[in-house]
Amino acid sequence: MSKRWAAAALVAVAGFGLVACGSAENDGGGSTQARTAVLEDSSPTPVSENPVAALPTTVTGFDGVPVTITDNSRIIAADRYGTFAATTVALGLGDNLVGRDTSAKFPAVEDVPVVTVGGSSLSAEAILDLNPTVVLTDTSIGPQSVQDQLRAAGIPVVFFDPTRTLEGVPAQIQAVADALGVPEQGKALVNRTEGEIAAARDLVPDDRDPLKIAFLYLRGSAITMIGGDGSGADSLIEALGAVDAGTASGITQKFAPITSEALIAAAPDAFLMMTDGLASIGGIDGLEKIPGIAQTPAGKNQRVVDMEDGVLLSFGPNTGRVMQSLAEAIYGPADS
């Protein structure tokens, strides 16, 4: 998969003028301060309607434990990113989804009960009350004692790879499909997703230089972090053909507290953020108050990109649509 096209997309979003993808503020001199990249409908389109599952099936989870699934009629999908819920819906099994994590916010699951407390803690009571026939999860969420409790109760709990990268999307889709007994739908979804990524690549020119981009994870004044090596955002930024500013500046942990020194050392050309995170600090005005922001190229030029929390780092079946939406919004009008 080519990475250069996506780099161009992010460059355009951050500094070259996103023309039809969200809102913008203006400093009076005509420069773009901030852009919200929007996916018009974040609900995945099913590749099939209520497919007939080939069950029972036995799969070996990411934890190395073989799990036998005999029934997929009551699925709970819970991870930090909403990926498994999105994949379940995209496989055509949305009607079977009875529980989800809070990151799965797209319209198709708005009536499905949330089984996480505080966003990342599984509630054993909430899950057991839903009488699931299979639980899809990973180590990005917990506590493990709850997942162990579910297994002890006789519920098939399948662990998947918690790593989120663009390169890992096909394998993860297929792994979920195999566990739910719909491998052919998995193959179809993989093909569609890869095709959407390729279509997006065709829309983006190769004449943009890569940026140095810093991923900021913010939740009010209590949590202000910059992404580093292994944050997940670094994989996204690198896959976009850009340079992860935090990693390049020597941040070896997944996230480090934002300090003036860390930001100045990272010297990002643009900031990448989650929409709710940006809103939690009061938007651009609040961002500018964080020490060190104004001393970076991104701060001086007010280059900020934000995207919906449940979309930005999910790396699920919407990946190609997200990228294609960005490419069309940026380059379609510009070339017309």
Length of the chain equals: 336
Gap between the Cα atoms of 144 and 122, Å rounded: 9
Give pLDDT, residue 328: 56
Sign of CA dihedral 2, 45, 140, 151: negative
Gap between the Cα atoms of 260 and 21, Å rounded: 31
Q: What is the pLDDT of residues 172-216, one digit of tens each?
A: 999 999 999 999 999 999 999 999 877 777 765 576 767 788 999
Domains of the chain with bracketed CATH? 4-40+208-335 (3.40.50.1980), 57-181 (3.40.50.1980)
Gap between the Cα atoms of 212 and 302, Å rounded: 14
Q: What is the pLDDT of residues 149-178, one digit of tens each?
A: 999 999 999 999 998 888 899 999 999 999
Angle between helices 4-11 and 183-203 (to 10 degrees): 60
The more confident residue out of 19 and 304 is 304
Helix%, strand%, coil% for the chain, nearest 5? 40, 20, 40
Q: In the β-sheet with 157-159, what is the strand arrangement from edge to edge?
A: 97-100, 75-78, 134-137, 157-159
